[in-house]
Chain A
Amino acid sequence: MLRISADKIYELLGAASAAQTVYIPSEREDGEAEFKKYESGMKLTNRLNTLRSAKDFFFPQTEDLVEFKVDGKNIEISDVRKESEDFIIFGVRPCDARSFTILDKVYLVEPVDSFYKNRRDHGTVVTMACSRPAETCFCQTFGIDPTAPEGDCSVWNDGSYYYFKSNTDKGQKFIDSVTSLLEESDTAELDKSIEKTKEVMKKLPLANLSTENFGGDKLNEYFSSDKWAELSESCLGCGTCTFVCPTCQCYDIKDFNTGHGIKRYRCWDSCMYSDFTKMAHGNPRLTQLERFRQRFMHKLVYFPANNNGEFGCVGCGRCLSKCPISMNIVKVMKALEVK
C-alpha cells in the first residue's frame, strides 16, 4: 500500500491544495473540530468527529434556488446555479462517508437534485479510518466498519504513517496528484493498529445495539407504541439533533423579498419544528410527540421501507453528544424495541 510518514502529511495537503481547495477537520479555540479550508500552518484535529457533519459540503444549510422579478404580467426568471469547482474533503470519518450514500438515495434518484449532484460530482471524499472510537459511537450497528472506510480514497493513520488506497477514479486522481510524496510499503504495522481498534470496537458501550427488530416492516409495531409519550416528554423541540445529523435531509423552500425582487431559497428544516410539513389545511403533526416520532420512525422504519432495508442513521453519535436534554436514537431504540 502507498504511505507517507506522518510528519509529512502537511506537505501532502499542501501539494493537493495547490490544484484544488482541500478541506480538513481542524480545531477551533473552544476545542471543537470543524472542516476548514486548508492553508499552510493548519493542523488536523485529534478529535474523532467534527461538530457539524460533512454533509454541509453537498447539502448546505441554505442555498439560493432561483431569482425572479415580477413586472406587471411578466416574470423575469434568473437561474442562479453555478458550476461548483473541484474540491477535496480530507479526513471524513467512515460514518459520515456512509451518510453520503444515504443522501445520494434521496437526491440522486429521479428527479435528480441538480444542486446536490453538481457538488457531489465535483467533490472528492478522502476518508480517514478511526483508531480511537468514542463511547458514543455505534456505526457497527449499521454495518459500517470504521477500520475500512468508504469514499473515493481511504486513508489510515497508525501513528507513524498515513496509508492511502483509492476506491474510485476520483480517489485515484487524488493519489496521482501527490504520488511523488508516497512510498510503497507493506501493511504489517497498519494491520496491528487495525487489530487494536477492532478490539476497542468490541468493548464500546453500544457495541451490542442491534437493528434486528427495526426496519421497513415494523410500522405497526412502533407507530402506536405507548413509549412515544414518555420518550418525547422532555424534548425541547429544538433542531440540534437534525442539524448536526449527517443523514437528516429535509429542507424547506421559501421566498425572500429583497425589495427589488424575489430570492427563492431552500434551507434545512427540522421535523422537530412546529411548522414542519405545515400545509394549506394545517399541520398533520400537532404536538411534539408526533414530531419526535417522525424523526425516529423515518430513520428506523420509513427510510429502510423505501430503500431496500437501509437505515437512515450511521451511528456517528453527534446527537448523543449534542442534544440539550440527552435524548437520542439509542435511547429511543432501547425503549421502543419489541423483541
Chain B
Amino acid sequence: MQEAMINKAKQLLADGTVSRVIGWKRGEFAYDITPAVFETAEELEKDFVFDDFTSANVSKYLVKESKKEGKVLVFLKPCDTYSLNQLTKEHRVDRDNIYVVGIPGGPKLDIEKIKAKGITGITSVKNDNFTLKIETLYGEETMPFYEAVLDKCASCKSKKHVTYDELIGEDGDTLESNRFDMVEQLENMTSQERYDFWRSELSKCIRCNACRNVCPACTCENCVFDNPASGIDNKAPADSFEENMFHIIRAFHVAGRCTDCGECSRVCPQHIPLHLLNRKFIKDINSLYGEYQAGADTTSRAPLTDYTADDCEASIVHERGVE
C-alpha cells in the first residue's frame, strides 16, 4: 500500500494535478511518525511512510494547507474523510483546492499499549499474522495484535470514505460498532459513581491542550481559553473543578460537529478517555433528534443548529412565540 501511495503521489505531482502532498513521515523508531508535507518525488521516496502506526488524522492540516497556492494531495483513511467533510461544511477548508485519495483504514496500533506491557527498548514492531513480533534491546517479545490496537480503531464506525477524488483499494461500508458500550455503562452508573469516574479521569489533566489542538472540530482562530480578553482564559488547572469545566465546555462546543474521530483520546498524554464525553453527546443527539453522523455529508443541517417543530424541546420556542 505504501508503495502504491508513493507512486500515486509522484504521478499527481509530476502531471501537475497537485503541488504538495500531505502524508506521514518516518521517524527515528518504528512508531514515531510525524504528519508532513512533501513537495518532491525524492522526499516521498526517502521518508513517506504508511504502516500500522500512521494513525494521525491529517485532515485538520488542510485548514492551513488548502488556502495556500496550488492544489494539495491528501491521503485520508475512512474516519479522516468525515473530518474533512465537516470542515468543508463549516467553510474551514477550500475543498476545491484539495485532492483526496482515499486509502484503507486501520486498525492502527498504539505504541503506548505495547509499552504498558512492560516492553521497552523497542527497535522494531512487525505484524506476523496478527501476532506482533517486537524486537527489543532485551530480546524478542510477542503480543496479540488486537491487544495493541488504538481505542479509536477498536470501535471503528465506518470503512466507508464519505469524500474522495479517487480511491486506492475498494471502499467499505459503515459498521455496527461497539462505540456506545462504555457510554451506556456510564449512563447506568449512579450519579455519584459517574461523578467520581469523571473527577478521577479529569483530575489527571495537565492542560497541555493537545486534545483541543488536534481536534478537527476545534478550529477557532483564537480559542476562548487562550484569549485574555475573554476573562476565562487560563493555562493551568488552578483547581480540579476548572479542568472539569474546560473539557465539558469543549465537548459542548463540538457537540453535533464531532465526527468521533478519536484523536482527542489518542493524543492525551494522560490517557483520559475524552472521546466518551463526545460520544455521550452523539448518542443523545441520535436519540433526541434521530440518527445523525457529523461529517457524513457536506450539505445537511445539523440537529443542534436546525429547528423543526418535531424538536424534543420545540415547545420552548413555540410558547415564546405565542401571544
A residues in contact (CB < 8 Å) with B: 30-32, 46-48, 51-52, 61-62, 132-136, 200, 203-206, 230, 233-234, 236-240, 243-244, 252, 254, 256, 265, 267-270, 273-275, 278, 320-322, 324-328, 330-331
Contact = CB atoms under 8 A, between A and B. Distances in A.
A324 B118 CA distance: 21
Contacts of A273: 209, 226, 235
B269 A240 contact: yes
Interface of B: 27-29, 31-37, 56, 61, 112, 115-118, 120-123, 136-138, 206-210, 212-214, 222, 226, 228, 233-238, 266-267, 269-271
Given A204-B137, A237-B213, A270-B235, A275 B228 contact: yes
Contacts of A46: 118
Given A244-B269, A326-B27, A239 B209 contact: yes
Given A135-B137, A234-B35, A331-B28, A30 B271 contact: yes
Nearest to B53: A326
Contacts of A234: 34-37, 61
A51 B270 contact: yes
B280 to A, nearest CB: 21
Nearest to A240: B208
Contact of B236 (A48, A62, A136, A325): A62
Nearest to B35: A234
B contacts with A: majority SS:
loop
Tell which of B34, B36, B118, B269 has the most Cβ of chain A within 10 Å: B269
Given A206-B28, A267-B238, A32 B208 contact: no
Contact of A135 (B29, B118, B213, B237): B29
B59 to A, nearest CB: 13
A205 B118 contact: no
Given A234-B61, A238-B213, A203 B116 contact: no
20 contacts: A31-B116, A62-B238, A133-B121, A134-B122, A135-B122, A135-B136, A135-B137, A234-B36, A237-B213, A252-B235, A267-B236, A268-B235, A268-B236, A270-B235, A273-B209, A275-B233, A322-B269, A326-B31, A326-B34, A328-B32
Contacts of B234: 254, 267
A203 B137 contact: yes
Please name the 3 residue pairs, one residue from A and one from B, whose CB atoms are nearest each other, closest first.
A31-B116, A267-B236, A324-B267
Contacts of A275: 226, 228, 233, 235
A239 B269 CA distance: 11
Contacts of B120: 48, 132, 134-135
